């Protein structure tokens, strides 16, 4: 048995891809290790969505130089979005690197590693495929740990957001055949998975490019019918594509969790136009209103970019106002960084000074902390269904789980509850999580199907 050290950067899509990497290399006799010193093969699955993410990859590669010097036999490879973006150039920049594989080339990894071993060359595989079979694993999902799992349903993106590198590094939209997805979800349910997160850059475009394929709303309906699956989530949905049928599905499907991540990026129409997002602030608010009319308890989260080129104080102010107006439960916020090949990097100077960007970021974050705290406090006194994920990050002997609205709950209870759906009484709140206790008298199935506050 050989050892594989696998480091994942970035999004959930990359986490799913890393699980696939572990599986395909497992079949070649590699076992995943936590210890880089013991590794025969070191693979970095990388992210280039923002400059900071990309810099992390180069620092990690820098640290690996010493390992390569000590043990020449170790193979070091880079996959994912930085690999796709840089290709051959990565090999030049990093002399101790042995191989590069792009976002569509995980199925080729065994061949690529073998090439390094037998031919002693430095292969680069970054071809894009239009046929979705490159996303399939012939032997299917073999190992899952825990009761939550990711399932990629599509890759790539056909949108043209001016700041975004994703279409360049993940390619055009390609959807997996629905029967493969449903087979995978059934197999996961058979192994005890109760919650699935369906992944794609823009899941609401699922199937649109494939004649005869299910729509995303129909796919959700089929997943909802699979026995054993209790909770369904998905990410991400582009606001422009939040269609009436998807809104309807939120009202109809009992297993679809009441949480939607709907990235808005900015509250200013001027910035949204420069970002080429394809909607106005009013369009966005209208969709949220329709969704809340059909599923009032839905929790909302979003992504915000501050310091986009030309962002004035007023335009930034519009974003702060929008946060108040929508009342998000959670946000992910970033300072703008120009990315290679993107339209915004070509058209506009990155003209907002770093300290202004940082100041705007901290204003967004402190406003959101107030809003999140307010919203979390509203949950106190209620009983919520949580899926226990294991020991709490607080390291205070507590366990943690997530509500259907995606809030973290920390509470005292046996670790043996990991993987179980239990009822928690909410006794306190912070801006980032809830505090609870096991509600002994009730089981999850006694709860209102929505897991709403009593
Ligand atoms: N649809 C995708 C979006 C991927 S990028 C998804 O599945 O989530 C994730 C987030 O990173 C974006 O929503 C945006 O807020 C942020 N982001 C992307 N490019 C960026 C850039 N050049 N600078 C700063 N933030 C960026
Ligand atoms: Fe990026 Fe916009 Fe697609 S943010 S992933 S181009 S929807």
Tell whether pTM > 0.75.
yes
CATH number of 383-446, picked from 2.60.40.10, 3.30.2420.10, 2.40.50.140, 3.30.56.10:
2.40.50.140
CATH number of 132-377, picked from 3.30.70.930, 3.30.420.40, 3.40.50.300, 3.80.30.20:
3.80.30.20
Please give the number of the atom of ligand 1 that sits closest to the Cα of 238: 1
**The tokens of 379 are what?**
């949950």
Question: What pLDDT score does 395 carry?
Answer: 80
Question: What pLDDT score does 143 carry?
Answer: 63
Full 3-state SS string of the chain: CEEEEEEECCCHHHHHHHHHHHHHHHCCCEEECCCHHHCCEEEEEECCCCHHHHHHHHHHHHHHHHHHHHCCCCEEEEEEHHHHHHCHHHHHHCCCCCEEECCCCHHHHHHHHHHHHHHCCCCEECCCCCCHHHHCCCCCCCCCCCCEEEEECEECCCCCCCCCCHHHHHCCCEECCHHHHHHHHHHHHHCCCCEEEEECCCHHHCCCCCCCCCCHHHHHHHHHCCCCCCEEEEECCCHHHCCHHHHHHHHHCCCECCEEECCCECCCHHHHHHHCCCCCHHHHHHHHHHHHHHCCCCEEEEEEEECCCCCCHHHHHHHHHHHHHHCCCEEEEEECCCCCCCHHHHHCCCCCCHHHHHHHHHHHHHHHHHHHHHHHHCCCCCEEEEEEEEECCCCCCCEEEEECCCCEEEEECCHHHCCCEEEEEEEEECCCCEEEEECCCCCHHHCCCCCCCC
Q: How far is the CA of 381 from the centre of ligand 2 (A)?
A: 39
Q: How far is the CA of 254 from the centre of ligand 1 (A)?
A: 30
Nearest CA to ligand 2 atom 2: 161
Q: What is the CATH number of domain 2-125?
A: 3.40.50.12160
Question: What pLDDT score does 146 carry?
Answer: 83
201 lines ligand 2 (CB under 6 A): yes
Question: What pLDDT score does 396 carry?
Answer: 87
Compute mean pLDDT per 10 residues along the chain, 454 residues long, and list them: 96 93 93 95 97 95 94 95 96 96 96 92 94 82 77 95 97 96 95 95 94 96 98 96 94 96 98 98 97 96 98 98 98 98 98 98 98 98 96 91 97 94 97 93 47 42
Locate the domains of the chain by residue range.
2-125, 132-377, 383-446
Ligand nearest to the CA of 171: 2
Site residues for ligand 1, CB cut-off 6 Å: 49-50, 163-164, 166, 201-202, 236, 263, 265, 303, 305, 334, 336-337, 339
Question: What pLDDT score does 453 carry?
Answer: 42
Nearest CA to ligand 1 atom 13: 303
Question: What pLDDT score does 141 carry?
Answer: 61
Ligand nearest to the CA of 154: 1
Ligand nearest to the CA of 263: 1
Question: What pLDDT score does 452 carry?
Answer: 43
Ligand nearest to the CA of 12: 1
Nearest CA to ligand 2 atom 1: 164
Dist. CA 25–CA 30, nearest whole Å: 5
**The tokens of 361 are what?**
């970021």
């Amino acid at each position: 048995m050989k050892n594989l050290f696998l480091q994942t950067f970035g999004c959930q899509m990359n986490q799913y891809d890393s699980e696939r990497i572990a599986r395909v290399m497992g079949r070649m006799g590699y076992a995943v290790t936590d210890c880089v010193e013991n590794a025969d093969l070191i693979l970095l699955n990388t992210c280039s969505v923002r400059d900071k993410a990309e810099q992390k990859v180069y620092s990690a590669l820098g640290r690996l130089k010493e390992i390569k010097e000590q043990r020449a036999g170790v193979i070091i490879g880079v996959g994912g979005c930085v690999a796709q973006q840089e290709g051959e150039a990565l090999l030049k920049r990093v002399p101790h690197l042995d191989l590069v594989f792009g976002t569509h080339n995980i199925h080729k990894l065994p061949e690529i590693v073998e090439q390094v071993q037998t031919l002693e060359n430095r292969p680069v595989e970054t071809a894009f495929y239009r046929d979705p079979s490159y996303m399939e694993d012939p032997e299917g999902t073999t190992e899952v740990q825990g009761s939550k799992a990711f399932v990629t349903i599509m890759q790539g993106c056909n949108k043209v957001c001016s700041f975004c590198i994703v279409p360049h590094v993940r390619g055009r939209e390609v959807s997996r055949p629905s029967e493969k997805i449903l087979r995978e979800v059934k197999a996961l349910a058979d192994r005890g998975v109760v919650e699935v997160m369906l992944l794609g850059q823009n899941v609401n475009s699922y199937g649109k490019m494939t004649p005869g394929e299910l729509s995303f709303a129909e796919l959700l309906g089929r997943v909802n019918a699979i026995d054993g699956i209790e909770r369904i989530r998905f990410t991400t949905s582009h606001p422009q594509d939040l269609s009436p049928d998807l809104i309807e599905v939120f009202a109809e499907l009992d297993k679809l969790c009441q949480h939607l991540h709907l990235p808005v990026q900015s509250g200013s129409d001027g910035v949204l136009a420069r970002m080429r997002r394809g909607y106005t602030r009013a369009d966005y608010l209208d969709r949220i209103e329709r969704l809340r009319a059909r599923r009032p308890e839905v929790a909302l989260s979003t992504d915000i970019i501050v310091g986009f080129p030309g962002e004035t104080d007023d335009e930034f102010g519009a974003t702060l106002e929008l946060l108040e107006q929508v009342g998000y439960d959670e946000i992910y916020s970033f300072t703008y960084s120009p990315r290679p090949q993107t339209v915004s990097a070509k058209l506009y100077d990155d003209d907002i000074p770093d300290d202004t960007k940082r100041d705007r970021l901290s204003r967004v974050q402190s406003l959101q902390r107030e809003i999140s705290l307010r919203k979390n406090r509203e949950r106190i006194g209620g009983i919520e269904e949580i899926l226990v994920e294991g020991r709490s990050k607080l390291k205070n002997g507590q366990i943690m789980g997530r509500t259907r609205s995606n809030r973290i709950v920390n509470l005292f209870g046996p670790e043996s509850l990991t993987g179980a759906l239990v009822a928690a009484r909410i006794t306190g709140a912070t801006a980032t999580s809830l505090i609870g206790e096991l509600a002994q008298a009730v089981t999850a199935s006694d709860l209102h199907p929505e897991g709403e506050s009593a």
